[in-house]
Copies of this chain bind each other. A is one copy, B any other.
Amino acid sequence: MADTPKRGGDKRERILAAAVKTFAKSGFYNAKVSEVASAAGVADGTIYLYFKNKDDLLISAFEDRMQMLNERLRQELSRTEGSAVTKLRKCLQLHLLLAIEAPDLAEFITVELRQSSKFIKEYDNQKFHEYLAIVVEVIKEGQSRGELRGDMEPWIATRALFGALDEMLLALVLRKEVTPQLVESRVAALERLFVDGLRQR
């Protein structure tokens, strides 16, 4: 009995992992809660001990995964020596590498996530704001050190950067094969674009 809480945690985690996989495979609207249960190896009713409904499951799976991504991004950034440009490159890289390292999660984020109107319209989406806030910090630091221009609102730049990354990740996710070289070339292109812009000098 002593390990019940831990087991409970494992079960919740198993359900969330199964949800990401199932939503990526069947799509949010087509996926049935019973499919998630079967993928997680739990009874259908068990899901409802942890989650209110399918929307709640989607949001919880997103929050849980974003939490992991945010922690990883923070860790990697704290290890990254150098300028804001180097750190921005790290952000681009980690995001696009999802297409190789966690294709289900990449598909979940770019395709399935927008499929819950509830998610977009009503959900406050704290973890996503946290993600953006990490990038905003990198840009602010770069501005205060004079590496990045000061006349750019960090929040707008970050949101634009995220949009570009999301679209680029979507394009990668929809391909049949994604190589590390391809991801690296996309990272390099986005870095040039956002750091140096399109203007000829």
**Chain A interface residues toward B at CB < 8 A:** 27, 29-30, 85, 88, 111, 114-115, 117, 120-121, 139, 142, 146-153, 156-157, 159-168, 170-171, 174, 186, 189-190, 192-201
Q: Apart from A142-B198, A149-B200, A152-B192, what are 17 other A-B pairs with CB-CB below 8 Å?
A: A29-B115, A29-B117, A115-B115, A146-B200, A147-B199, A148-B198, A148-B199, A156-B190, A160-B164, A160-B193, A163-B163, A163-B164, A166-B167, A194-B198, A195-B199, A196-B199, A197-B199
Q: How far is the CA of A151 from the CA of B164 in the complex (A)?
A: 18
> In this complex, which of A115, A151, A157, A190 has the most chain B Cβ atoms within 10 angstroms of its Cβ?
A115
Q: How far is the CA of A141 from the CA of B166 in the complex (A)?
A: 27
> In this complex, which of A159, A189, A193 has the most chain B Cβ atoms within 10 angstroms of its Cβ?
A193
